[in-house]
Every structure is written in C-alpha cells, then in structure tokens.
C-alpha cells in the first residue's frame, strides 16, 4: 500500500526522535488551542492530526504523550456573538480570569475548555491537558521567561528580520533598546494594556505602567508571574520546555515570517533546542442548507457534530482526508449520503472486500489506544431513520419496528442496538431538517385530487390498497410498488423496465405522494406507508378506504 499521510508524518517524527532523543525516548506530540469562544471543527483538526499520528507511533511501539496546551492565559480580544456587550469591560484580561458569561463555570476559559474536552472523550482522544495560566502562575516557565528577558536583544533581532519597518518613527536601535518579549497583566485593572519600562536581570524585577488605569507597578519574576511572553516567543519557549517532537498548525502559520518560521529560529538560536516536526493542516468547515434551532446553536462546534454523527464516523472524516486537504462537514442532506458511505465501508470490511487503505482508515476510526469508539451496533440506513422520525414525529416504537423489518430480524431490535445513530437521527430531524423539506401528511382524503387522477392511476391505487394487507413489510411493499403499474397494464411481473414503464411507475408514485403528502415527492413510499400504518394509508388513498375507516368501531 502506498504510504498514507499518517505514515509519512510518523516516519519523519520517528527519524527526528531517534536523532535528538534516542530509541527509547518518549515522543511528545503537542497541540494548542485558545478557549476564546466555542472551539470549532477547524480547531478539532489540529487535535485529530496530533492524535492520529500519536496513535500510529504507539502502534509502532513508542511511548507517546499527547500534550494539549490550553492558551487560557491569552487576553480576551473581542466579545463573541451571543455574549452581552457589558463583557467589553474584560477585554485585555486573561481568559482564565474573565467570568463565565452564563454563570455556570469558574471562568470564561473553563466553559469552553470543558465543553470541548467532553466531546473529545467521545472521540477517544487521550491527552495531557496543560493550562497555560497555571503553567505560568505556578512558575513552571519562570526560568525560560527570565532567559528570554535576558536575551531580549537577540529576540528583537530575529523578529525584526520578519517585520516591515516602513513608517516607524524610532530608529531600529531605539526600538531594540525598548523591546521586551513580555506583556504584563496590570496588577490593578488586570489588563495587558501595559508597557515595560525597565527590567533588572539581577533581581528579575519588572517595572511597568498601564495605559488603561495609569497604574505604575513592579514585581520580581522570582516572586510572581503577572503576564506572559508574546506569542511568537511563547510558542518556541514551550517547545523547548516540553521537548516537543511534533506539533501541527493551520496553513497560515506556514507562510514566510509566520509564527512557525520565526519560532524555528528562536527555539534553536535562543533556547538551543531542536525544532519539532511540523505539518500544516487545511480548513474544515460546515455546509449544507440547514435550519439551526436556537438550542442547537449556529457554530460548527464539536458538540453540534456529535449530536448528528456517530463518533467513529466523525473520526473517519478527519482520517480519510490528508492533513493538507480541506473538507466540509455537511449538516444538510449530504449527511445522509455520508452515513450511506460509512455503511458501505462497514459492509466491505465485514465481507473482507475492503482494500488495505480502507481497512486501515476503518480501524483507526473505530479503535484507539483508549478503547473502541462508539458507533451503532446495527447499521440501519440513516435516511430510513430520519424519514421515519419525520413522518411519525419521533415515534421510536414505529422506528424500531421498521428498522427490524429492514434488517430482517426475527426479534424486535432494541434501541441500544441503534445508538447513537437513533439519537443522531432524531437530533437531525428536530434541528437541521428545513421546514420545506419536512413531510406533511394530509389529515383526510382529498377527493378533488383523487378525481383529477387518470383512471389507470385510480385503478392502481385500489389494487395497492387491496394487496398491501398481505404485503405489509418493506420488501413486499417495495415489490408491490413496482409490480402494480405492470399489472394494471396487463404486463407480467418480470416485464423489463422500458422507458414507458418507468414513466408509468413514476406517475403511480406521484399519485401516492399527492394523496398522502400533498406533494409529488417524499420519503420512500414503503417506509412512508409503514410509518403511517395500514388504516391511515387506506383512508388517504381511496374513497373506499375512507368508508372502511368510518365503519371501524370507535
């Protein structure tokens, strides 16, 4: 099999580790996210890229640690949509100190870290969580920070090579003398609207002023940490501190002068540590014509994806595309096709017909070092579940009955055998199925629509009502749907599907949809009929059905 993207990156990481650490070292794979708001599916790609490579390295016999750096010591830059404007007062303060807008968590950062971490647990992603606020405040980075401050001139020289100097009023020497790679959080107002005035290497004392509240303060880095290194120095600092061997980032970090380009030089020339292996990843987005309910939210969040996708399928989406290939997760009708693709792959795996690449992708999607990844035990077509949920308004008993027939089971399928797919289908119908795509069922027989049908279609409908009494299963009804148009035209059941016959069958289907749904399309007719029940279907398809229903005892 041609080497896939996971193997190619893993090969590079292995070679790197053997050279800089040795054969029996623990490989450190890192990812980093800022909890500045809901962590979206694009951010998840960083986590999954690291996780999948880490899993491959574990499978090769390496000890691997996946460190997730939470940049909760970053400043609050702006107020996300849906947050009250009064929170503008916290702009400039570290995310870990900003209160939760909804009063449910200890902080703003805690809210978004928790909701994302809960989703990762469903995806089977083991990792070591490092909150940057604690790492800084507990003094873990103090020696590295002091080292960076002592080498601020050299840091400025590297950074200035990638900066535009046009329009600068001060000379480069003046700017070099005034440069400090450390941004203080004011001890009075908590904001980072500060400027370092002086730093004494002997005592590690920082003197600063705050433009927001005009506070003048000072403290020693040996006594407390009230601030952090600027990003382009902070990133290579933690590479050096944690001895990171692999960390990917978005494509924007790969451009000349980007954080990674600068970081490579800083980690080597200032911190005297090797540069980790790197891979850029491409965009992941959300698409599909969707109706988003207020409870579901409008973000392409991990929680929203797991509400409609089995965890194993969501993993598969990130596994089957190379890290540098963008892709979209369709919350609309494309979701039904995605489930069909997955079910087809599952059948290939079960039959032994899947090629080596698909076998590997399936294994990575369904099994991890933390255990099996959750997926439905029985793969009832997602389209069948959603259409039945739609028609029956979420009647699980009806759904299970039809699912049992679909899988040709002798005993009724239990809900647990269909989870989490069953819940995903219900969530999709409730939150993402547009109103104009929902199935509307007539409340009574439409005599006017019936009389407008050709006599051949009326005859076909009568025949259908007569015969489905003994053909009330998916397979039997499907056979009936295609046989009746032949029967009313005097053709044998095995007559070939000529263009004329196909047109006749389509006209028959439209007649059924017209009388049941007041439309010319809808769910698969056998599924629709089974969802509604015999008496309801009879009452909608023929005048005789109305009479028969009226004669039923109350």
Taking a C-beta distance cutoff of 8 angstroms, is the pair 35, 71 a contact?
yes
CA 393 to chain centre: 27
Taking a C-beta distance cutoff of 8 angstroms, is the pair 210, 188 a contact?
yes
In whole angstroms, how far apart are CA 134 and each of 29, 143, 225, 237?
A: 20, 15, 10, 16
Taking a C-beta distance cutoff of 8 angstroms, is the pair 392, 530 a contact?
no
DSSP bridge partners of 285: 328
- HSE of 493, CA atoms in CB hemisphere, 13 A: 5
Taking a C-beta distance cutoff of 8 angstroms, is the pair 331, 308 a contact?
yes
The bridge status of strand 280-281 relative to strand 249-250 is parallel
Alpha-carbon distance 399 to 383, whole Å? 12
The tokens for 156 are 């400025």
What's the angle, vertex CA 198, arms to CA 194 and CA 202, rounded to 5? 130
Alpha-carbon distance 248 to 45, whole Å? 10
Kind and range of the H or E run holding 31: strand 26-33
- Which pTM value belongs to this model? 0.90
Residue 52 exposed, middle or buried by CB count within 10 Å (0-12, 13-18, 19+): buried
Per-residue pLDDT, 167? 62
- HSE of 423, CA atoms in CB hemisphere, 13 A: 15
Kindly report, residue by residue over 99-117, the tens digit of the pLDDT. 999 999 999 999 999 999 9
Taking a C-beta distance cutoff of 8 angstroms, is the pair 468, 480 a contact?
yes
Three-state SS at 70: strand
Alpha-carbon distance 390 to 402, whole Å? 13
- Nearest Cα neighbor of 65 from 276, 277, 246 is 246
The tokens for 197 are 């005035």
Taking a C-beta distance cutoff of 8 angstroms, is the pair 236, 270 a contact?
yes
- Nearest Cα neighbor of 336 from 300, 299, 385 is 385
Kind and range of the H or E run holding 118: helix 108-122
Give a three-class secondary structure readout of 444-512: CCCHHHHHCCCHHHHHHHHHHHHHHHHCCCHHHHHHHHHHHHHHCCCCCCCCCCCHHHHHHHHHHHHHH
Alpha-carbon distance 375 to 363, whole Å? 13
Low-confidence ranges of the chain (pLDDT < 50): 290-297, 548-554
- Nearest Cα neighbor of 418 from 449, 461, 389 is 389
The tokens for 542 are 């023929």
| Dihedral sign for Cα atoms in the order 9, 11, 14, 16 | negative
| Dihedral sign for Cα atoms in the order 284, 240, 276, 363 | negative
CA 346 to chain centre: 21
Domains plus CATH for the chain? 1-140+282-374 (3.40.50.620), 162-228 (2.30.30), 376-438 (no CATH), 441-554 (1.10.10)
């Amino acid at each position: 099999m041609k080497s896939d993207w996971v193997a190619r990156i893993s090969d590079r990481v292995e070679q790197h580790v053997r050279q800089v650490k040795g054969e029996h070292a623990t490989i450190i794979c890192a990812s980093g996210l800022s909890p500045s708001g809901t962590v979206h599916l694009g951010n998840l790609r960083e986590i999954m890229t690291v996780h999948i490579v880490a899993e491959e390295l574990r499978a090769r016999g390496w000890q691997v640690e996946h460190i997730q750096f939470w940049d909760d010591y970053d400043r609050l830059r702006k107020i996300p949509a849906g947050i009250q404007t009064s929170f503008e007062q916290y702009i400039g303060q570290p995310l870990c100190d900003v209160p939760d807008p909804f009063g449910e968590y200890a902080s703003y950062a805690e809210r978004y870290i928790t909701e994302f971490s809960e989703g990762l647990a469903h995806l089977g992603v083991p990792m070591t969580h490092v909150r940057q606020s604690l790492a800084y405040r507990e003094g873990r980075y103090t020696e590295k920070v002091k080292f960076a401050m002592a080498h601020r001139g050299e840091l400025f020289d590297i950074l200035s090579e990638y900066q535009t100097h046009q329009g600068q009023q001060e000379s480069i020497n003046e700017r070099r003398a005034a440069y400090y790679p450390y941004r203080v959080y004011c001890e009075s107002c908590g904001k980072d609207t500060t400027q370092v005035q002086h730093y004494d290497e002997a005592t590690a004392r920082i003197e600063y002023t705050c433009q927001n509240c005009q506070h003048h303060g000072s403290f020693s880095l040996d006594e407390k940490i009230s601030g952090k290194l600027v990003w382009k120095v902070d990133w290579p600092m933690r590479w050096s501190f944690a001895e990171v061997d692999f960390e990917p980032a978005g494509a924007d970090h790969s451009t000349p002068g980007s954080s990674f380009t600068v970081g490579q030089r800083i980690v080597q020339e200032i911190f005297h540590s090797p540069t980790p292996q790197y891979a850029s990843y491409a965009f992941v987005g959300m698409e599909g014509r969707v109706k988003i309910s207020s409870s579901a939210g409008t973000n392409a969040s991990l929680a929203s994806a797991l509400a409609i996708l089995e965890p194993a399928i969501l993993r598969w989406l990130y596994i089957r595309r190379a890290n540098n290939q963008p892709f979209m997760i369709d919350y609309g009708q494309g979701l039904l096709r995605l489930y069909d693709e997955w079910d087809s792959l599952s059948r290939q795996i079960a039959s032994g017909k899947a090629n080596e690449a698909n076998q590997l992708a399936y294994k990575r999607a369904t099994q991890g070092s933390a255990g099996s990844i959750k997926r439905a035990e029985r793969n009832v077509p997602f389209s069948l579940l959603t259409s039945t949920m739609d028609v029956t308004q979420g009647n699980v008993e009806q759904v299970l009955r039809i699912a049992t027939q679909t899988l040709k089971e002798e005993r009724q399928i239990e809900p647990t055998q269909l989870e989490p797919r069953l819940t995903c289908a219900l969530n999709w119908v409730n939150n993402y199925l547009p109103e104009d795509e929902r199935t509307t069922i007539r409340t009574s027989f439409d005599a006017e629509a019936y009389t407008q049908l050709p006599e051949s279609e009326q005859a076909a409908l009568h025949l259908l009502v007569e015969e489905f009494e003994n053909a009330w299963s998916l397979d039997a009804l499907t056979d009936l749907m295609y046989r009746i148009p032949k029967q009313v035209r005097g053709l044998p059941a095995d007559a070939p599907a000529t263009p004329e016959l196909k047109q006749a069958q389509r006209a028959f289907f439209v007649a059924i949809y017209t009388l049941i749904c007041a439309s010319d399309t809808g769910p698969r007719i056998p599924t629709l009929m089974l969802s509604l029940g015999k008496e309801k279907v009879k009452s909608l398809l023929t005048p005789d059905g109305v009479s028969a229903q009226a004669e039923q005892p109350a």
